[in-house]
A and B are shown apart, each in its own frame.
Chain A
Amino acid sequence: MSAPRPYTLIAEVTHRCPLACPYCSNPLELVHDELSTAAWERVLEDAEELGVVQVHFTGGEPLARRDLEALVGKAHALGVYTNLVTSGIGATRERLAALRDAGVDHVQVSIQSARAERADAIADYQGHARKLEVIRWVRELGLPLTLNCVLHAGNLDEPANEIDELVALAEQTGADRLELANTQYVAWALANREALLPTREQLEAAAERATHHKQRLAGRIDVLFVKPDYFGTTPKACMDGWARRFIHVGPDGRVFPCHAASTITTLSFESVTDRPLAQIWHNSPALEAFRGELWMPEPCASCERKDVDFGGCRCQAFALTGDAGATDPACERSPHHHVIDEARLSRGRSARGLLRRGRSSARSREAR
């Protein structure tokens, strides 16, 4: 089939990061090779030519790249809306001002918790106080701000789950948006699933608070609550469909439909170092693999929701069933749905410590 028009480029410019969050969205096999400035500029040009109107500079910590200002400037010159997705670590006021001047449209800063001590424990890095400073600079420089916090058992504990505190922080800091994103259990988060899964009660309490604040703050702060898999009956519309609206380019130039797709070891993803982005987007076998509906097995093929959720997440299907072409087990109609039920029961069972990425990208296992 002919490739659809992509609207968003996710430029994962590096896997380097000072933090070591146990739910990191980078793959377990971190990449050390990084594209040159010129190669990234070509990616931006080619993506815009394909139809992209938004770019997310992310990582790793994108500020680890010294040429981030140049890349932002390139995207801006192409007329592409530019999001910077950062931990804040590595930012200085001067650098943020330079990025603003280069054309950053919006900055998203991650925090790990509303509570400093806990945030530093989750990230395994003393960074929370610095992040608050960076957040202040972002606002002082007039840059639109999103706060992002990943939710899991470590910050959704009862009775005082952190939602109220996170919302209060968003209000205090003058954020435009607050993204409360439940952990998605692929890659590092899957490895640490037993420790990270909340209970249904925790999740429902958090959702209730988030809904309350969303209504209260409507028109002022956009409060987003991203539901987790594992507690629903239908899968998420992952990436709005495989290789449909999003192009994800990794640090080494490999082209994916999403940040986690390299975990699907049965597919071979091509790199912009081998052929141009447009060619890869249009006819790379890995991107064609799950486009459209022809690949769908039952129960997806005859499901009335197939153009709503696109069969769910391919990475999750592969991780939990060994078959990337299976119905997402998060769907109650999946013949593998029992693995989700079993996973929920396994919560809190692990005796081992969290598996964390090493700072120099070597894996390390720490004791809790």
Chain B
Amino acid sequence: MKPKLAAKVRLKHDRHDDQWLLLYPERGQVLNATAAAIAQRLDGTRTVAAIAEELAREHGAPVAEVEADVAALVEQLAAKGLLA
């Protein structure tokens, strides 16, 4: 599975509070730095494992740990109907 944000979802950098926001119909949520980095890669071209590997490499973090974060965010977004 290559997760992708749903068409109704916009990832936006908020210039006012220097944070990343996930915007969708009449709602929004603030993403922490990790979640934002993951969300930027939810474009339907990479698997959860590939995203985890990429981020682990960039940040020098253990892949297993990052993969758990990616899977958790994907699950949370899917439950809210925010994935395509």
A258–chain B nearest beta-carbon distance, Å: 14
A139–chain B nearest beta-carbon distance, Å: 11
List residues of chain B with CB within 8 A of the CB of A79. Answer: 12
List residues of chain A with CB within 8 A of the CB of B35. Answer: none
Instruction: Give bound CA distance, A108 to B8, whole Å.
Output: 12
Q: Which of A5, A53, A108, A142 contacts B7 (CB 8 A)?
A: A142
List residues of chain B with CB within 8 A of the CB of A83. Answer: 25-26
Using A51-B16, A53-B21, A83-B26 as known contacts, say yes or no to A105 and B81 having CB atoms under 8 A apart.
Answer: no
Using A176-B81, A218-B79, A219-B79 as known contacts, say yes or no to A53 and B25 having CB atoms under 8 A apart.
Answer: no
Using A79-B12, A176-B8 as known contacts, say yes or no to A53 and B81 having CB atoms under 8 A apart.
Answer: no
Q: Which of A7, A81, A146, A218 contacts B10 (CB 8 A)?
A: A81
**Across the interface, do B12 and A5 meet the contact criterion of CB distance under 8 Å?**
no
**Across the interface, do B79 and A106 meet the contact criterion of CB distance under 8 Å?**
no
Q: Which of A53, A176, A221 contacts B14 (CB 8 A)?
A: A53
Indicate if A222 sits at the interface (CB-CB under 8 A): yes
Using A79-B12, A108-B25, A177-B25 as known contacts, say yes or no to A144 and B81 having CB atoms under 8 A apart.
Answer: no
Q: Which of B26, B28, B78, B80 contacts A56 (CB 8 A)?
A: B26
**Across the interface, do B25 and A219 meet the contact criterion of CB distance under 8 Å?**
no
Indicate if A220 sits at the interface (CB-CB under 8 A): yes
Instruction: Give bound CA distance, A54 to B22, whole Å.
Output: 11
Instruction: Give bound CA distance, A220 to B25, whole Å.
Output: 14
> Considering the complex, which residues of chain A in the window 269-314 have a beta carbon less than 8 Å from any beta carbon of chain B?
none
Instruction: Give bound CA distance, A176 to B82, whole Å.
Output: 10
On chain B, the number of residues with a Cβ less than 8 Å from chain A's Cβ atoms is 18
> Considering the complex, which residues of chain A in the window 41-82 have a beta carbon less than 8 Å from any beta carbon of chain B?
51, 53-54, 56, 79, 81
Residue-wise, chain B 57-84 has the 8 Å CB interface mask toward A (1 for contact) of 0000000000000000000001111000
B78–chain A nearest beta-carbon distance, Å: 6
Using A53-B23, A81-B12, A83-B25 as known contacts, say yes or no to A221 and B6 having CB atoms under 8 A apart.
Answer: no
**Across the interface, do B8 and A105 meet the contact criterion of CB distance under 8 Å?**
yes
Q: Which of A54, A144, A221 contacts B28 (CB 8 A)?
A: A54
Residue-wise, chain A 90-132 has the 8 Å CB interface mask toward B (1 for contact) of 0000000000000001101000000000000000000000000
**Across the interface, do A176 and B25 meet the contact criterion of CB distance under 8 Å?**
yes
Measured CB to CB, the nearest residue on chain B to A49 is: B16
**Across the interface, do B16 and A219 meet the contact criterion of CB distance under 8 Å?**
no
A22–chain B nearest beta-carbon distance, Å: 24
Using A53-B12, A81-B10 as known contacts, say yes or no to A106 and B25 having CB atoms under 8 A apart.
Answer: yes
Instruction: Give bound CA distance, A83 to B10, whole Å.
Output: 12
Measured CB to CB, the nearest residue on chain A to B78 is: A219
Instruction: Give bound CA distance, A51 to B24, whole Å.
Output: 17
Instruction: Give bound CA distance, A68 to B25, whole Å.
Output: 19
**Across the interface, do B81 and A221 meet the contact criterion of CB distance under 8 Å?**
yes
Q: Apart from A5-B16, A54-B23, A222-B80, what are 10 other A-B pairs with CB-CB below 8 Å?
A: A79-B12, A83-B25, A105-B23, A106-B25, A144-B7, A144-B8, A144-B25, A176-B81, A177-B25, A219-B79
Chosen A-B contacts, 29 in total, with CB atoms closer than 8 Å, are: A7-B28, A51-B16, A53-B12, A53-B28, A54-B26, A79-B12, A81-B12, A81-B23, A83-B25, A105-B8, A105-B10, A105-B25, A106-B8, A108-B25, A142-B7, A144-B6, A144-B7, A144-B25, A176-B8, A177-B25, A218-B79, A218-B81, A219-B78, A219-B79, A219-B80, A219-B81, A220-B81, A221-B81, A222-B81
